[in-house]
């Protein structure tokens, strides 16, 4: 293979002419995942379709900057398999330094030895501060109490910065190593996100009601009976959010306030966001139990819903209907009066995905990055 004036790829039977800047990447570990180039030219977005590399052979990738591209003074970049959980690392598993070049034409040859997998390894000093807000936080709307946690950025105490907030359901399964069915490992994911400067966020983790979990996450009359979801949502917006905004340095506006969860936790998050778009402008919906309310009405009273963002995820190996339900839900949102070209929806389907914490764990940082920290769409 000749990398001087042309690059011949016999398998694909085409030739790349040497115009503009060509990035040629070889890698020791090759698989079916796409490779992206991310850098100071696209705000370090990791899944920018504009910077998807072309696979031209086994372990061989190519990207061309056009001859008239508006380059930064120095091009800084890294390679990823789609996000920072799958970024390039060195032979020992450590973070690599940013690559750089001053070239605007010609060929830049690069090599990746290993790719990060499953967000490992992570660095202990970037782990968030885990604060127990209360063992018995009062829920006056339901006449109950609940254990609630706050996960704060690792350097929260040494900063005066304010942060966006995500309210997550089912705290028992978010970062608890003793969880019966495994956990999302959001503490480790947040550590990697912080290390790579993706963005910092406060997570408010609300434990579910054990035997009353389904009743609490169920809104109105459904196939599961009559739920207490309306009261639970009132608790979130009337009691919990004001407490959090008073006691932590938060960005209080709707564009910096999110709600999310999986399964029934995803369903109650949908209801919360659609009923109160003035409060929640970011929705993280994983494998929602839409079968519970097949006639779910997509209607709100508030017109101030500009820039609402919804990250929808479903696994192809969860049930026979999960993917179709989620796709149908997306289409109904797009067709509704609620959207009016104001809402952004990201639909992520993992064909191998099962209904469990392992897959929700992998999707969590991708959702957080897209919902809160992407400055352009792709």
Residue 313 sits in a domain whose CATH number is: 3.40.50.1820
pLDDT digits (tens, 9 = 90+) for 150-190: 999 999 999 999 999 999 999 999 998 878 778 899 999 99
Encode burial over 157-187: b for 16+ CB neighbours within 10 A, e otherwise.
eeeeeebbbbbbbbbbbbbbeebeeebbbbb
Instruction: Establish if 35 belongs to a structural domain.
Output: yes
- Residue 120 sits at φ, ψ, to 5 deg, of -105, 145
Tell me: do 138 and 42 sit in the same domain.
no
When pLDDT is cut at 50, 70 and 90, the band that residue 304 belongs to is: low
Unique residue bearing structure tokens 């018995």: 136
Tell me: do 45 and 132 sit in the same domain.
no
Instruction: Establish if 1 belongs to a structural domain.
Output: no
Tell me: do 108 and 143 sit in the same domain.
no
CA 277 – CA 262 distance, rounded (Å):
19
pLDDT digits (tens, 9 = 90+) for 249-272: 999 999 999 999 999 999 999 999
Helix (H) / strand (E) element for 131: namely strand 129-139
Tell me: do 142 and 93 sit in the same domain.
no
Tell me: do 184 and 286 sit in the same domain.
yes
- Give me the percent of the chain exceeding a pLDDT of 70: 88
The CA–CA distances, whole Å, from 330 to 51, 156, 207, 289, 295 equal 26, 36, 28, 14, 14
Unique residue bearing structure tokens 């579910």: 208
Tell me: do 141 and 246 sit in the same domain.
yes
Predicted pLDDT at 9: 43
Instruction: Establish if 378 belongs to a structural domain.
Output: no
What CATH number is attached to the domain comprising 80?
2.60.40.10
- Give me the percent of the chain exceeding a pLDDT of 90: 55
Tell me: do 208 and 345 sit in the same domain.
yes
Q: Is pLDDT larger for residue 304 or for residue 378?
A: 304
Once rounded to an integer, what is the mean pLDDT over residues 360-376? Answer: 86
Tell me: do 93 and 210 sit in the same domain.
no
Tell me: do 192 and 309 sit in the same domain.
yes
3-state class (DSSP) for residue 48:
coil
Instruction: Establish if 358 belongs to a structural domain.
Output: yes
User: 115, 144, 169: which is the final residue of a domain?
Assistant: 115
**pTM (global) more than 0.85:** no
CA 186 – CA 152 distance, rounded (Å):
12
Instruction: Establish if 339 belongs to a structural domain.
Output: yes
CA-based torsion, 232, 235, 238, 240: positive or negative: negative
Once rounded to an integer, what is the mean pLDDT over residues 288-295? Answer: 79
Q: Is the pLDDT of residue 297 over 70?
A: no
**Pick from 299, 297, 356, 345: which is nearest to 322 by CA?**
356
**Residue 146, strand partner residues:** 137
Instruction: Establish if 33 belongs to a structural domain.
Output: yes
Q: Is pLDDT larger for residue 143 or for residue 10?
A: 143
Predicted pLDDT at 302: 53
Tell me: do 361 and 329 sit in the same domain.
yes
Q: In whole numbers, what is the pLDDT of the chain averaged over residues?
A: 87
**Pick from 299, 258, 261, 300: which is nearest to 281 by CA?**
258
Tell me: do 11 and 143 sit in the same domain.
no
Predicted pLDDT at 13: 38
When pLDDT is cut at 50, 70 and 90, the band that residue 117 belongs to is: confident
Indicate the number of domains in the chain.
Answer: 2
CA 212 – CA 264 distance, rounded (Å):
12
Cβ count near 343 (within 10 Å): 19
CA 97 – CA 95 distance, rounded (Å):
7
Once rounded to an integer, what is the mean pLDDT over residues 1-27? Answer: 61
Q: Is pLDDT larger for residue 62 or for residue 366?
A: 62
User: 52, 85, 115: which is the final residue of a domain?
Assistant: 115
User: 61, 86, 115: which is the final residue of a domain?
Assistant: 115
CA 154 – CA 193 distance, rounded (Å):
11
Q: Is the pLDDT of residue 243 over 70?
A: yes
The CA–CA distances, whole Å, from 160 to 155, 248, 249 equal 10, 11, 8
Once rounded to an integer, what is the mean pLDDT over residues 10-23? Answer: 63
- Give the structural domain span for 33: 6-115
**Pick from 174, 169, 157: which is nearest to 248 by CA?**
157
Q: Is pLDDT larger for residue 212 or for residue 297?
A: 212
Q: Is the pLDDT of residue 330 over 80?
A: yes
Once rounded to an integer, what is the mean pLDDT over residues 201-213? Answer: 95
Tell me: do 296 and 195 sit in the same domain.
yes
Q: Is the pLDDT of residue 3 over 60?
A: no
């Amino acid at each position: 293979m000749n990398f001087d004036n042309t690059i011949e790829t016999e398998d694909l039977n085409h030739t790349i002419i040497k115009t503009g800047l060509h990035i040629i990447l070889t890698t020791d570990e090759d698989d079916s995942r796409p490779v992206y180039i991310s850098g100071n030219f696209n705000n370090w977005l990791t899944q920018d379709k504009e910077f998807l590399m072309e696979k031209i052979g086994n372990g061989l990738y190519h990207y061309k900057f056009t001859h008239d591209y508006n380059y930064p003074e120095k091009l800084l970049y890294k390679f990823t398999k789609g996000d920072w959980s799958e970024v390039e690392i060195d032979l020992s598993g450590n973070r690599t330094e940013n690559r750089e070049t001053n070239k605007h034409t010609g060929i830049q040859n690069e090599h990746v030895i290993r790719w990060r997998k499953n967000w490992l390894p992570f660095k202990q000093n970037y782990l968030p501060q885990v604060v127990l807000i209360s063992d018995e936080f009062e829920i006056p709307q339901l006449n109950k109490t609940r254990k609630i946690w706050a996960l704060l950025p690792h350097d929260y105490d040494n900063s005066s910065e304010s942060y966006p907030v995500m309210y997550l359901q089912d705290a028992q399964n978010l970062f608890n190593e003793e969880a019966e069915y495994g956990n999302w490992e959001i503490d480790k994911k947040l550590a990697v996100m912080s290390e790579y400067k993706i963005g910092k966020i406060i997570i408010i983790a609300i434990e579910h009601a054990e035997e009353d979990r389904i009743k609490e996450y169920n809104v109105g009359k459904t196939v599961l009976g009559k739920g207490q979801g309306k009261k639970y949502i009132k608790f979130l917006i009337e009691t919990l959010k004001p407490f959090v905004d008073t006691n932590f340095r938060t960005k209080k506006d709707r564009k910096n306030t999110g709600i999310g969860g999986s399964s029934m936790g995803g369903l109650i998050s949908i209801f919360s966001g659609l009923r109160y778009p003035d409060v929640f402008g970011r929705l993280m919906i994983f494998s929602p139990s839409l079968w519970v309310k097949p006639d779910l009405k997509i209607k709100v009273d508030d017109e101030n819903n500009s820039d609402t963002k919804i990250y929808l995820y479903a696994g192809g190996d969860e049930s026979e209907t999960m993917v179709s339900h989620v796709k149908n839900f997306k289409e109904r949102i797009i067709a509704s009066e609620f959207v009016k070209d104001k809402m952004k929806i990201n639909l992520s389907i993992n064909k191998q995905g099962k209904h469990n914490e392992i897959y929700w764990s992998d999707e969590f940082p991708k959702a957080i990055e897209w919902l809160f920290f992407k400055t352009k769409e792709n």
